[in-house]
Chain A
Amino acid sequence: MKNRTKTAIVTVTAAALLASAAQAAGKLEIFSWWAGDEGPALAALVKLYNAKYPSVTVDNATVTGGAGTNAKAVLKTRMLGGDPPDSFQAHAGQELTGTWVVAGRMEDLSSLYKSEGWASKFPKAVIDLISYKGGIYSVPVNVHRSNVMWYVPATLKKMGVTAPTSWSTFLTTCNKLKAKGMATPLVMGENWTQQMIWESVAVGVLGPKGWNDLWSGKLKFTDPRVVGVFTTYGKVLDCANKDAAGLSWQQATDRVLSGQAAFNIMGDWAAGYLTTTKKLKAGTDFAWSASPSTNGTFIMLADSFGLPKGAKDKTEVMNWLKLLGSKEGQDTFNPLKGSIAARTDSDLSKYSTYSQSAAKDWKSKVIVGSMVHGAAANEAFTSGFGSINDAFVSNRDAKAAAQAAQDLATKSKIGM
């Protein structure tokens, strides 16, 4: 007994000494909104980092709240107050470049991309998204696809329909289902999930080139083609539930499972919910296809980390970023997070059935950025578009919505 106490004391003292030694050796603060379900994936990354750099203390500064609503507010006050975290999470694309890079707050990481040979490992479309005036500003860790349509094969079979591949067949399928007594063939949830449907409609109607033109300013929102997007979106909304504002995306997905609705358009985090939480089998209990008219396109969103100017522990951050961009880092993180690796050379045997199919698409389809999730448009636009969507859902005035979107784009300096 006495001996054991002694050992305990010695161990604790040793641990304390080690810890203080680590403090002296260096520390790294990682700012993210990954808690809850996403926490273990981040923890695995931190563990991997600590295995490589045992002397560094990692400070996991997580601010909880879905999609980073709270974290982004905290981050902004910290950055404005001159106390940037060592490395912070931001959606790759305009959310990073349009807010932080244009403001001159981020370090250029081009040299890191060169030394690690990443230019050939990440798809060019992704590197373009995180580049600004010749510099590359962040390292994407994961990729999610936003244009996926989920359904239960048994429900479709019972109703005698197949998953529609274009928006026009979607509308006829919708009418068929309505005639058979399914009041709301499409289920949607709160505002941002509605915007994801708009995004799928827009990419489907305009095509990837038209979509990109929208954000580079070559295509105006007042163009008849874009007004047409709103018109189609309005018709799609007629197939959807009226109580959407009160549903989370999980509750919306549940309605597909219960057979109240046939389809749900949601990002591929739904696959994680269906397999892990609901214990369903991919391919038989639930199935998926690209949202109508977007089969050739992969609407992507990605989480990425960068190096803010004035970060205190630059060496540690560079090591962290190297780890994030490495094959090992991405394949440790993504199977747990339910996303796929941004690199195209990842080890697919580690991933779920759904993710394997998504990873295949990632390599073969045309990649465009998601507006809702901060890749295609800056925060000023994305946030304002939520209000435009809300007005449209109520009044269905396609022309007014297109005009408002154009005014917002001008004000937010889209394509300038």
Chain B
Amino acid sequence: MKNTDRLWSKIVLAPSIILLAIFVYGFIARTGYTSLTDWGNDPVQAMSLTPVIKFIGLQNYTDLFTGGLNVRFRQDMISTLFFTVFFIAGCLGLGLTLALMLDRNPRGEGLWRTIFLFPMSLSFIVTGTIWRWMLQPQGGLNQLLHLDPAKSEWLTSRGSILSFDWNKIPLITAAVVAVVLGVVAFQAMRAGQRTRTLVAAGCAALLLVWALFVGPNVKLLPAPELHGFNLAFIGIIIAAVWQMSGYTMALYLAGLRGIPEEIREAARVDGAGEWDTYRHVIFPLLAPITLSAMIVLGHISLKIFDLVFAMTGPDNAATDVPALLMYITSFRQNAFAVGAAIGTVLLLLVAVIIVPYLASQFKTEEAR
């Protein structure tokens, strides 16, 4: 009986496994391979019936990160980083505020919940179109608030803040990792784990030495190249937060409702004030929710395409993101290999967020 059950489960699962293997993993592998070739770098070969495609190793990646013509890609990497940070912070902040307000059982709670959750039912394309109308120079928001269209450039600003030199990227990375390792070493020392302390401290010291003496001499580019947070992204961040903060609100509200009243009472009995209850009891209980919200929002923001396309179009470098650049590079410039390389970089970025999360989920499930 048990054996036939097993057999059945395998037969039933087989088609989707085969389809996944081909259409997800097979295509990932194919894209990865394409990114190592020169397909489309020569316009003559791009669309040829029998293209001559050469294997060129990591050349496309080197060009993207250090080539003179790929300034836009590097700005996009920085933009996507800033966008992710502000988008997640905005969604978490607004979502938590809304959830805390609703948790006090205001009148018409159901209605408010629907209103706040409603934007999530729209697609990014719709959200983008609505907000483009609101934020364009002659658009709704400027007229509503009687702002001067020439000065309130929600989506068209060319300003940039928090700029830093791309050449310093290795240096900054090394310094950040060294600091993190230092913290790990400190914690291990306090916990009395000797080997761990020594390894972490050693690595941190090595990195610091590198950052101090070798790092400043590493030049990715011949000339300094400044990248920062483009102010034109503010409009897009507003729209994205409007769309997704309902989702974080729902998550937090579920979390808050899941906290038993006894715990709050116990805190009160112990003499904790309102704020202390939140700080020491409720927020720590919400931490896992924050983590999963960050994972979901993080991968949405790294892959974002449709919202930006709808709001500022594919040709606006000030609000460009890697996914848009991949589309333009592949389908307008016909540089398929470079497009594949950008896609692979995006996949790796998403993997950096998703894989540790999946691994930890997997571990807790096995532990059960």
Contact = CB atoms under 8 A, between A and B. Distances in A.
Interface of A: 69, 72-73, 76, 79-80, 98-100, 102-105, 183, 190-192, 241-247, 251, 309, 378-380, 383-384, 386-387, 390-391, 393-394, 404, 407-408, 411-413
Given A387-B72, A413-B42, A243 B333 contact: no
A408 B329 CA distance: 13
Interface of B: 41-49, 51, 68-69, 71-72, 135-138, 149-150, 153-156, 158, 232, 312-318, 327-329, 331-335
Contacts of A73: 327, 331-332
B47 A380 contact: no
5 contacts: A72-B332, A105-B48, A105-B49, A191-B315, A191-B316
B153 A379 contact: no
B72 A245 contact: no
Contact of A379 (B42, B43, B49, B136): B43
A384 B49 CA distance: 24
A309 B156 CA distance: 44
A246 B155 contact: yes
Contacts of A408: 69
A378 B156 contact: no
A384 B313 CA distance: 16
B245 to A, nearest CB: 25
Given A76-B47, A191-B313, 7 more contacts: A72-B332, A102-B48, A105-B47, A243-B149, A245-B232, A379-B334, A383-B333
Contact of A407 (B45, B68, B317): B68
B137 A393 contact: no
A192 B136 CA distance: 18
B69 A411 contact: yes
Best-surrounded residue of A103, A243, A413 (most CB of chain B within 10 A):
A243
B229 to A, nearest CB: 14
B207 to A, nearest CB: 34
A383 B317 CA distance: 12
B150 A380 contact: no
A413 B332 contact: no
Main secondary structure of the interface of A (DSSP, over half): helix
A243 B47 contact: no
A309 B41 CA distance: 23
A15 B64 CA distance: 59
4 pairs of A and B residues whose beta carbons are closest in the complex: A390-B317, A191-B315, A103-B47, A73-B331
B138 A251 contact: yes
Contact of B318 (A76, A379, A390, A412): A390
Nearest to A100: B47
A393 B137 CA distance: 18
Contact of B328 (A183, A383, A411, A413): A383
Nearest to B158: A394
Given A73-B331, A245-B318, A246-B137, A413 B158 contact: no
A380 B43 contact: yes
A409 to B, nearest CB: 11
Contacts of A103: 44-49, 51
A60 B314 CA distance: 27
Contact of A247 (B47, B48, B68, B137): B137
Nearest to B315: A191
Nearest to B235: A246
Given A190-B313, A393-B158, A412-B43, A380 B335 contact: yes
Nearest to B331: A73
Contacts of B334: 76, 99, 379-380
A190 B49 CA distance: 35
Contacts of A72: 331-332
Contacts of B317: 191, 386-387, 390-391
B334 to A, nearest CB: 6
B43 A413 contact: yes
B333 A246 contact: no
Contacts of B315: 190-192, 386, 390
Contacts of A379: 43, 332-334
Nearest to B47: A103
